[in-house]
Amino acid sequence: MPLVEVRALTKEYSKGDQKITPLKDAHLDVERGDLVSLMGASGSGKSTLLNMIAGIDRPTTGNVVVDGTDITRMSRSKLAAWRAQHVGYIFQMHNLIPVLTAYENVEMPLLLLPLSSAERRKRIEIALDAVGLADRADHYPRQLSGGQEQRVGIARAIVADPAVVVGDEPTGDLDAESTEQILLLLQRLNKELGTTLIIVTHDPKTAAIARRRIRLEKGELVEAGAPILKRELQRA
C-alpha cells in the first residue's frame, strides 16, 4: 500500500472573474522510503500539490490519503495535530523562529507530542547530530549561515520521525556549496533512515537526487513525458 495516495485532486479558486485551476485531476502514489521530486514551471501546481499532501491546503475535489488516513476531510484542529505527528516540512527560506536557539527550534514539533523532556532531548540531539550541527545547538538563527539554518530546518522536519517529509525548494535560497551539502544530507536521510521525501524544485541538480522525477504541466502530473498513474489505472 503506498504511503501517499493522491486521487483525482483538483484545486480551483477565483481571482476576480477568472477561475484558476492550479491542479487538475492529479493522481499520484508515493511508496514508503521513496524520494520524489516535483518539477515544473511557475504556476504549474507543484507547490499546491505539495501543500495538500502536507495538509496545509485543501483541495476543491479529490482525496489525499497519507499512511492510511484521508486528510482531506479532517477538521482544522485535527489536521494541525495530524501534521505534528505525520509531516515534516522543509521551507525554502528555512523559516526558523528567530528568538529560539537551534535546539529550541528543533524541539518545537516535539512539544506537540506526548514525550518526556528526556525523550525530547535525546531525539533533538540525534536530529542535530544527523545534520551535523550538534555543536551549534545553542546558536540562534542569526548566528548561523544560510546552509546551517537550512540544516536546522531539516532537523526540525525529521525530529518527530514523520511518515513523510516534504520540501518546497529546499535549496532555493542557498549558494552552490550549501546546496551540495543539503542535497547530500537529504540523500543520506532517505537512504540511511528510510525517510520518505517529496521535494518541489526548479533546479535539475536537486531533482537529480530523486529516484522518481515527476513534472507538472498546467496542473497535470507527467512522468517520463506521459500522464502517470491515471493512465495505469485506466489500463488496469
Partner 1 sequence: MLGFRLLPWEYGVRNLFRRPGRSVLTLGGLTLVVLLVFVVVGFVRGLETSLAVSGDPRVVLIHSLGGGDNLENSSIPARSAALLSASLEGVQRRQGTAYASPELFLGTNVSTEGDAEPAMGAVRGITPAAILVRRRVQVIEGAWPKAGEVLVGRLASAKLGRGAAALAVGRTLAIEGQSWRVSGHFAATGSALEAELWCPLEDLQRAMKRQDISLVAVTLAPGLDAGVIDEFCKERLDLELAATPETGYYASLQKHYKPVRTLAWLMMCLVAGAGVFAGLNTMYGSVVGRIRELATLQTVGFSRRAITIGLIQEATLLAAAGAVVAAVIALLLINGAAVRFTSGAFVLRIDSVALLIGCGTGLMLGFVGALPPAFKALRMPIIEGLKAV
Q: Which residues bind partner 1 (CB under 8 A)?
A: 47, 51, 54, 56-57, 76-77, 80-85, 89, 91, 93, 95, 97-100, 104, 108-109, 111-112, 156
- The residue among 95 and 187 lying less far from partner 1, judged by its C-beta, is 95
- Residue 41 or 81: the one with the smaller Cβ distance to partner 1 is 81
* DSSP at 154: H
Q: How far is the CB of 84 from partner 1 (least distance, A)?
A: 3
**Helix intervals (H) in 4-114:** 46-53, 76-86, 102-107
If the CB atoms of residues 91 and 228 are measured against partner 1, the closer one turns out to be 91
Say if CB 113 and CB 84 are below 8 A apart.
yes
DSSP secondary structure string, 84-152? HHHEEEE-TT----TTS-HHHHHHGGGGGSS--HHHHHHHHHHHHHHTT-GGGTT--GGGS-HHHHHHH
Q: Taking the complex as a whole, how short is the minimal distance between the CB of residue 101 and partner 1, in angstroms? A: 10
> Minimal distance in Å, beta carbon 7 to partner 1?
21
The least CB distance from residue 226 to partner 1, in Å, is 29
Residue 228 near residue 214 (C-beta atoms within 8 A): yes
- Min. distance of Cβ 174 from partner 1 in angstroms? 18
Nearer to partner 1 (CB atom), residue 21 or residue 82: 82
Contact 57, 11 (CB under 8 A): yes
* Shorter beta-carbon distance to partner 1: residue 29 or 40: 40
